[in-house]
Amino acid sequence: MTHTLAHWIGGKHVAGASGRQGPVTDPATGEVTTQVPFADAGEVDTAVAAAREAFTEWGGSSLARRSAVLFAFRGLLDRHRDELARLITAEHGKVHSDALGEVARGLEVVDLACALTLQLKGELSTQVATRVDVSAIRQPLGVVAGITPFNFPAMVPMWMFPPALASGNTFVLKPSEKDPSAAVRVAELLAEAGLPDGVFNVVHGDRVAVDRLLEHPDVAAVSFVGSTPIARHIHTTAAAHGKRVQALGGAKNHMLVLPDADLDAAADAAVSAAYGSAGERCMAVSAVVAVGGIGDDLVARIAERARKVRIGPGTDPASEMGPLITAAHRDKVASYVHGAAAQGCEVVLDGTGHTVAGHENGHWIGVSLLDRVPVTADAYRDEVFGPVLCVLRAETYEEGVALVNASPYGNGAAIFTRDGGAARRFQLEVQAGMVGVNVPIPVPVGYHSFGGWKDSLFGDHHVYGNDAWHFYTRGKVITTRWPDPADTDGGVNLGFPHHG
């Protein structure tokens, strides 16, 4: 029995009306569990209209009220962590502990939003001229939209809507059509927390729904997270329609290992960061650069650990790595491994053809390790987004950094070393938005901002942290003068006002 999901508009479930829908699959079994409606332009318009109407009240609501709703939501989210993690595993496939981690990292951004009273305080300068004061306030934009990828169906929406709602905006979310149920459950929890109807809406769909959001005159800003080609399209199209836009794209994250590094710690980190969540993380390490003569030793240590990764359904507590999102994606990932030897790579581990007993139709693939990978190989050039780790060799630190910086992507980059001076140089020289020193996946905590450079982010603002308050508000500066009846300096003055 498949279940049909509904949109969430104006505080209630609304059945899809376009006649178009898509299947949601359990990646561990290959079974279609849910049908998700694909909104047409009219349904998107209904959601935006609900958000616009709700903005009239929410945009002017007191900070105390917003704060109360967000604190209540935080409590509910905390109590429903396990349920949300199970929904994520059922549609994404990642193992339960990893799904719990995703919810926890989303919750961090809700914590940030709960601090809204401190964040939205504004500035005041008194007596800039005689009896003249200047204050600067930040106000909400109106209706803002979020478009999110499949790989973090709960966390990535939570990178966006908590600070957006805290700032007084209303929100329309278009989650990934591959694992859309967590977004609807989050909407129900927001309603239970006391969020007024229409402040948060979910419309499901594909390009049709996204393109309508990008051109809709009542959508003031768009936050996007997904692959680079779509991020580029979102940035260009939304900006052409006069919207504020931040569009986070794909990645190829490098881990530079210097000869003085603790090679066991580096190998542990490489395996965890390359194969965790089956490599379907935008901060996954997909390229290790071994510097100096450590390459063979490091590859042996990585291979020894990688062989032991336990692959199975995300619901099995013994599993460390689950299946890939779709069979088509699994086949694409496998094609990179199949083509690797002909493109000059040494195939140390080939994970293609992996099966899991009792789950023959799941989207399985094992872990693959490619050594001596030329920069021209497809497995290195493309964002594979699967459990395939490339190892490259560099003679020196300089050669290694040049290799990292030649990548068109610049999301995360890590260095493993015991040399503080080298680590410091790397922090300054590497072209990436997030840097790890002996930390392989340097995803910033909720009160710092997350974002990449180059083809990993289009726009000026990173997500969450301080950038979020700026992205989701606009500034207003008020100059005030309350003349004293005793003032004698009145009268007409055609000169440009200046403060003397």
Helix (H) or strand (E) holding 273, with range, is helix 263-275
Shortest Å, Cβ 147 to ligand NAD: 5
Task: Indicate the residue among 138 and 243 with the shorter CB distance to ligand NAD.
Answer: 243
Stretch binding ligand NAD (CB under 6 A), from 88-96, 248-256, 338-346, 470-478: 248-256
Catalytic annotation on 282?
A: yes
Tokens of 209: 């729904």
Tokens of 74: 């935080």
Choose, from 114, 282, 345, 390, the residue flagged as catalytic: 282
Task: Indicate the residue among 148 and 368 with the shorter CB distance to ligand NAD.
Answer: 148
Q: By CB under 6 A, is residue 202 in contact with ligand NAD? A: no
Q: How far is CA 374 from the centre of its chain?
A: 29
Instruction: Tell me the per-residue interface mask from 450 to 479 with ligand NAD, x by CB under 6 A, - otherwise.
Output: --x---x-----------------------
Q: Are 391 and 369 in contact (CB under 8 A)?
A: yes
Q: By CB under 6 A, is residue 29 in contact with ligand NAD? A: no
Task: Indicate the residue among 175 and 314 with the shorter CB distance to ligand NAD.
Answer: 175
Q: By CB under 6 A, is residue 273 in contact with ligand NAD? A: no
Q: By CB under 6 A, is residue 392 in contact with ligand NAD? A: no
Strand 170-174's sheet: what is its strand order?
12-14, 7-9, 200-202, 170-174, 143-147, 219-225, 244-248, 457-458
- Whole-angstrom distance, CA of residue 232 vs CA of residue 285: 23
Q: By CB under 6 A, is residue 149 in contact with ligand NAD? A: yes
Among 73, 385, 397, 464, binds ligand NAD (CB under 6 A): 385
DSSP assignments along 373-439, one per residue: --TTSHHHHS---SSEEEEEEESSHHHHHHHHHTSSEESEEEEE-S-HHHHHHHHHH---SEEEES-
- Whole-angstrom distance, CA of residue 84 vs CA of residue 100: 8
DSSP assignments along 336-381, one per residue: HHHTTGGGT-EEEE--TT---TT-TTS-----EEEES--TTSHHHH
Among 151, 181, 201, 223, binds ligand NAD (CB under 6 A): 151
The answer to whether the Cα torsion of 187, 193, 195, 198 is positive or negative is positive
Stretch binding ligand NAD (CB under 6 A), from 62-70, 74-82, 245-253, 338-346: 245-253
Stretch binding ligand NAD (CB under 6 A), from 54-62, 205-213, 334-342, 371-379: 205-213
Task: Report the 10 Å Cβ neighbour count for 492.
Answer: 4
| Helix residue spans in 131-246 (DSSP H) | 155-166, 181-192, 207-215, 228-240
Q: By CB under 6 A, is residue 278 in contact with ligand NAD? A: no
Count of residues that bind ligand NAD according to CB under 6 A: 28
Task: Indicate the residue among 92 and 301 with the shorter CB distance to ligand NAD.
Answer: 92
Among 222, 230, 263, 413, binds ligand NAD (CB under 6 A): 230
Shortest Å, Cβ 259 to ligand NAD: 30
Task: Indicate the residue among 39 and 401 with the shorter CB distance to ligand NAD.
Answer: 39
Residue type, 478: I
| Helix residue spans in 93-146 (DSSP H) | 96-114, 116-119
Task: Indicate the residue among 230 and 321 with the shorter CB distance to ligand NAD.
Answer: 230
Shortest Å, Cβ 209 to ligand NAD: 8
- Whole-angstrom distance, CA of residue 257 vs CA of residue 266: 7
Q: Are 35 and 131 in contact (CB under 8 A)?
A: no
Shortest Å, Cβ 333 to ligand NAD: 12
Q: By CB under 6 A, is residue 148 in contact with ligand NAD? A: yes
Task: Indicate the residue among 98 and 371 with the shorter CB distance to ligand NAD.
Answer: 98
> Which residues between 406 and 435 bind ligand NAD (CB under 6 A)?
411
Among 210, 245, 263, 432, binds ligand NAD (CB under 6 A): 210
For 1, counting Cβ atoms within 10 Å of its Cβ (0-12 exposed, 13-18 middle, 19+ buried), the class is: exposed
Task: Indicate the residue among 48 and 210 with the shorter CB distance to ligand NAD.
Answer: 210
**Residues marked as catalytic:** 282
Which residues contribute to the site for ligand NAD (CB under 6 A)? 147-152, 156, 174, 176-177, 206-207, 210, 225-227, 230, 233, 248-251, 282, 383, 385, 411, 452, 456
